[in-house]
Chain A
Amino acid sequence: MIVFIPLYAAYKKVPVYETFIEGAKDGFGTAINIIPHLVGMMVAISMFRASGAMDMMASLIRPLFDGLGIPSEVLPLGLLRPLTGAGSLAFTTELIKTYGPDSMIGRIASTIQGSTDTTLYVLTVYFGAVGIRRSKYALKVGLFSDFVGFFAAIIICLLVFGT
């Protein structure tokens, strides 16, 4: 991949280095843009954990989901994901940091984060750009697919990585 793409592009007469730099600038901008979001969310989550609130909440929810084998730690992610891309990314990062990227929770969080999109943001941007005020059933469909994606991600991870 790393070798093939530049070679193919060179064959297509693309100025590979300049193009790479152009795209790389984009990547830099994206990474810089999410810093405030990551900081804001991680402060809140870190406080939530340190104060013992996380444990209190988890012990409340745990009986509901333990029966199904779903780790309750990923539940807040399901709430955050449709609302805020950077916020849920921060939450996912926090989970990966705490439990490790190769833990079941880390894998499930990664899959959830990768397989759904920030429905509210997409709706606002796309419809806002053309002046649509009434979105009919678009929001319902988007949230429904987030819901399905969330549980699909959990079930698939439990099946694939489960012991």
Chain B
Amino acid sequence: MVNYIWLFFIAVSFIAAIINGRMEALTEAAFEGAKSGVTVSFGLISVMVFWLGLMRIGEDAGLLRKIAVLLQPVVRFLFPDVPKGHPALGYIMSNMSANILGLGNAATPMGIKAMQELQKLNPEKETASAAMCTLLALNTSSITLVPTTLIAIRMTYSSAHPAEIVGTTLAATLIATAAAITADRWYRNRYKNKPPKWKDRDSIDTGTGSDNGTSAKSRSSGDSLTLDGQGKGEAVV
């Protein structure tokens, strides 16, 4: 897909250059683009090096763990079919914390660890379990407090307020995450083999949880609850 898009850009540019008689400008633009690609990367290096160094100190000082504790109720709600105290939950919390702080590199290994733990609970080893889909939904729309790279680029181009997009980014990620969780819940219920009668809701995909009616109720009002949980997290931060 990326291949096609890239090829589309170049092929269409070529045709347009012929139509508009800009062949010389086209060649020049190609080299100009390569040059600015490298220039931008070098501009990024200073900020990335500094910021990730600082964040690593925070990580080792246990700031991630502090955020993870705050996330506990949210995670319990999102993953009802993972047994309490299972190592997967710890990794999920670390993964979310790293995402929130904009530590993409720390988030990925944690996410993979969480997936491996969830795989142990998964009866069908080649098909994603409901919990795995939820974790993926959280990561594709991850809530971001500090969009590190973006701030770096804005600084490179001497923005008057490089961090002014933090608020808008946070708001947009909250909406995207709420959408992801809602969609995930909706599909999760649709994918159950049984018709969604309340009485039948006590069996869970992974067959590990011992759920009862109350959690089924909380599931039906999922969206508002989720937003509550996120609102709390936001307020604390």
Which residues of A pack against B, CB within 8 Å?
1-2, 5-6, 8-9, 12, 14, 16, 19-24, 26-28, 30-32, 34-35, 38-53, 56-57, 79-80, 83-84, 87, 89-90, 92-94, 96-97, 100-102, 106-107, 110-117, 119-120, 122-123, 125-127, 129-138, 140-142, 144-146, 148-149, 152-153, 156-157, 160-161
Q: Provided the pairs A41-B37, A92-B150 are in contact, do residues A160 and B167 lie with their beta carbons within 8 angstroms? A: yes
Chain A residues with CB under 8 Å of B22's CB are 50-52
Size of interface on B: residues with Cβ below 8 Å to A: 98
Chain B residues with CB under 8 Å of A31's CB are 41-42, 44-45, 48-49
Chain A residues with CB under 8 Å of B169's CB are 110-111, 114-115, 153
Task: Determine if B13 is an interface residue (Cβ-Cβ < 8 Å).
Answer: yes
Q: Provided the pairs A83-B1, A126-B136, A157-B168 are in contact, do residues A27 and B153 lie with their beta carbons within 8 angstroms? A: no
Q: Provided the pairs A20-B53, A52-B22, A141-B180 are in contact, do residues A156 and B168 lie with their beta carbons within 8 angstroms? A: yes
B112-120, B193-201, B209-217, B226-234: which one contacts chain A?
B112-120
* A93→B132 contact, CB < 8 A: no
* B5→A48 contact, CB < 8 A: no
**B112 in complex: contacting residue of A1, A126, A156, CB < 8 Å:** A126
Task: Determine if B220 is an interface residue (Cβ-Cβ < 8 Å).
Answer: no
Task: Determine if B184 is an interface residue (Cβ-Cβ < 8 Å).
Answer: yes
Interface string of B1-41 (1 = CB under 8 A from A): 11001100110111111011010011011101110111011
A interface SS class:
helix
Which residues of B pack against A, CB within 8 Å?
1-2, 5-6, 9-10, 12-17, 19-20, 22, 25-26, 28-30, 32-34, 36-38, 40-42, 44-45, 48-63, 104-105, 108, 111-112, 115-116, 118-119, 125-128, 132-133, 135-137, 139-142, 144, 147, 149-150, 153-154, 157-162, 164-165, 167-169, 171-173, 175-177, 179-180, 183-184, 187, 191
